[in-house]
A and B are shown apart, each in its own frame.
Chain A
């Protein structure tokens, strides 16, 4: 057996990235960033609110968390629903208690189905982030560009109308993009995106239609990833978050702010036996006095303003 000779040809073998979305950049050689009040670490919490229809679609893959068994999979549907009716209220209570702000990536269908939940979030001053229409509407390589544009526009339009917020952030369902996603996000007036997991700080991403800020989504500290996919204990989850926070505190010594991102999933961390771990973790971080609790939009804006000045 022999492979075609093209398999040993390397079209993009040159300095920098093999695509043009962004340039290589060593995080430790970048211009320092300072957060308000000289705080060392911006604490960026995202709480994803997702609607999984009982009938999954036939896309190239199912979003993580989607139905598993033959129809009707009441088990999965209702355990996900638990997050939106019970778990999220536990998280809101923790945020209230500690005086923390958060960003809520939400499917637009959450806003239309559960307006009272949306109001609880916006009344507290949390940020609404666009997160697609629902968990069947994933974005993927090869999908029709106009279909994707329509999905993004519908989601953003609905969330802006229902929330009364500008809605400038985007997180794709399942964090999956097509080759056109960043371009379409810019066209829809979005300023930052939370899908790429390749940095600890924001950076500029190139779109054909302009520039968008990539926010540092930290999959490695995500509750669903650690507690469900990897099956780690709550104690180990907490230990790793606090270790990351300590490292950021050290790195931030020379007026060089860092971002600690925690992605929360109400049906995971909002379970009764887990919520105490979240309280303890966030309490320890808040007690340090080193954090600026902010939304993704606030972090992106301050970071952006210091890049050009």
Chain B
């Protein structure tokens, strides 16, 4: 086991090479609906149980199922209203279970990336071949269902192995949402010579944290998101930042929450001159083309100890 994951080097958040988003926009804004399928009776991973009570643990199961039956449709309508395309963090088995949702997203030109097969199948304990199989299954499943080649990954339930990041690089993924060390994209160190980057996923402004960890109201969460945006916009005048809103339809799509969230999208997309409303894949493509090499060179200065 490693005490340092060694997936990236230290890179202080100042004096970095300036990022400009297309159209000179200051904040790249993307929304990540987690469209997940949780199994009622999954096999038990030795390191993590899916549900606390004996089978069938119907409350947490149906709590999440609400997202696919109700919440998703509300959320999609609000995103349509403000022209925000989702970058979907997808339990790819959704392509088999609920193709209606996949088709609706695909028609809207939303992006899909892999969030594992099911959110009840954890990566802990997998060998390299098994973990690779998850990625290959994801690529194939989404391609067959939508015609899209996925380029991004967020491990199911944020469960990883030491190999995860290398396997993404090996399979021509462009970005990983698995690491939360920064508000700007940056290169990851991998075994191959891929241009895999770390995509800011803003985990701390996830609706799950707001509602189920911090116990916030929908109004408080909406205010938090606006403040998050204001700060990243201010900093984006110096160098482009990324703001992601990671969501779960079973949380944000509730009747009492969608209203305040609508105001957030209204507020953010209202900053037309400053905000690039986009998808994770478009951010990754732009970054890899224009800023990847410069970032590698700048980070190397710190490794040599002369960066200060």
- Known A70-B48, A75-B203, A116-B302; contact A89-B13, beta-carbon cutoff 8 A: yes
Contact status A77-B5, CB under 8 Å: yes
Report the minimum CB–CB distance from A274 to chain B (whole Å).
8
Minimum CB distance partner of B4 in chain A: A54
Report the minimum CB–CB distance from B8 to chain A (whole Å).
9
- What are 16 of the A-B contact pairs (CB < 8 Å)? A53-B3, A55-B1, A69-B48, A72-B5, A81-B181, A85-B12, A85-B181, A85-B182, A86-B183, A114-B10, A114-B12, A231-B213, A231-B215, A272-B235, A273-B225, A274-B227
In the assembly, what is the distance between CA of A274 and CA of B220, in Å? 13
Contact status B3-A74, CB under 8 Å: no
Interface residues of A in 281-304 (CB under 8 A from B): none
Contact status B180-A82, CB under 8 Å: yes
| Interface check B308, CB cutoff 8 A | yes
Contact mask A63-97 → B, CB, 8 Å, 1/0?
00000011110110111011011100110000000
| Interface check A205, CB cutoff 8 A | no
Minimum CB distance partner of A274 in chain B: B227
Contact mask B225-236 → A, CB, 8 Å, 1/0?
101101110010
In the assembly, what is the distance between CA of A115 and CA of B178, in Å? 26
Contact status B1-A273, CB under 8 Å: no
Stretch from B56-64, B99-107, B108-116, B158-166 that touches the partner: B158-166
Contact status A233-B231, CB under 8 Å: no
Minimum CB distance partner of B125 in chain A: A70
Contact status A115-B308, CB under 8 Å: yes
Contact status A54-B1, CB under 8 Å: yes
Residues on A with beta carbons closer than 8 Å to the beta carbon of B302: 116
Report the minimum CB–CB distance from B103 to chain A (whole Å).
32
Q: Quick one: which of A53, A84, A273, A276 contacts B4, CB cutoff 8 A?
A: A53
Contact status A79-B204, CB under 8 Å: yes
In the assembly, what is the distance between CA of A206 and CA of B235, in Å? 48
In the assembly, what is the distance between CA of A266 and CA of B47, in Å? 31
Contact mask B291-308 → A, CB, 8 Å, 1/0?
000000000001001011
Contact status A271-B181, CB under 8 Å: no
| Interface check A201, CB cutoff 8 A | no
Interface residues of B in 1-56 (CB under 8 A from A): 1-5, 7, 10-14, 47-48
Residues on A with beta carbons closer than 8 Å to the beta carbon of B214: 231
In the assembly, what is the distance between CA of A72 and CA of B224, in Å? 30
Residues on B with beta carbons closer than 8 Å to the beta carbon of A75: 158, 180, 203
| Interface check A143, CB cutoff 8 A | no
| Interface check A117, CB cutoff 8 A | yes
Residues on B with beta carbons closer than 8 Å to the beta carbon of A115: 305, 308
Report the minimum CB–CB distance from A140 to chain B (whole Å).
20
Report the count of interface residues on A (CB-CB < 8 A): 34
Residues on A with beta carbons closer than 8 Å to the beta carbon of B47: 70
Residues on B with beta carbons closer than 8 Å to the beta carbon of A78: 179-181
9 closest A-B pairs (Cβ-Cβ)?
Answer: A116-B308, A53-B3, A272-B231, A273-B228, A273-B227, A119-B308, A86-B13, A78-B181, A70-B47
Residues of B within 8 A of A (CB): 1-5, 7, 10-14, 47-48, 124, 158-162, 178-183, 203-205, 213-216, 220, 224-225, 227-228, 230-232, 235, 302, 305, 307-308
Report the minimum CB–CB distance from B24 to chain A (whole Å).
21
Report the minimum CB–CB distance from A128 to chain B (whole Å).
15
In the assembly, what is the distance between CA of A271 and CA of B225, in Å? 12
In the assembly, what is the distance between CA of A255 and CA of B19, in Å? 52
Minimum CB distance partner of B198 in chain A: A78
Contact status B3-A82, CB under 8 Å: no
- Known A78-B180, A79-B204, A115-B305; contact A72-B10, beta-carbon cutoff 8 A: no
Report the minimum CB–CB distance from B220 to chain A (whole Å).
6
Of A74, A90, A115, most buried by chain B (CB within 10 Å of CB) is A74
Contact status A72-B160, CB under 8 Å: yes
Minimum CB distance partner of B155 in chain A: A74
In the assembly, what is the distance between CA of A81 and CA of B216, in Å? 25
- Known A75-B180, A115-B305, A271-B204; contact A69-B213, beta-carbon cutoff 8 A: no
Contact status B10-A85, CB under 8 Å: yes
- Known A82-B182, A86-B182; contact A116-B3, beta-carbon cutoff 8 A: no
Contact status A74-B11, CB under 8 Å: no
Contact status A55-B181, CB under 8 Å: no
Q: Quick one: which of B181, B203, B307 contacts A116, CB cutoff 8 A?
A: B307
Contact status B228-A74, CB under 8 Å: no
| Interface check A113, CB cutoff 8 A | yes
Q: Quick one: which of A71, A89, A275 contacts B1, CB cutoff 8 A?
A: A71
In the assembly, what is the distance between CA of A82 and CA of B162, in Å? 20
In the assembly, what is the distance between CA of A274 and CA of B12, in Å? 19
Minimum CB distance partner of B213 in chain A: A231
Report the minimum CB–CB distance from B216 to chain A (whole Å).
8
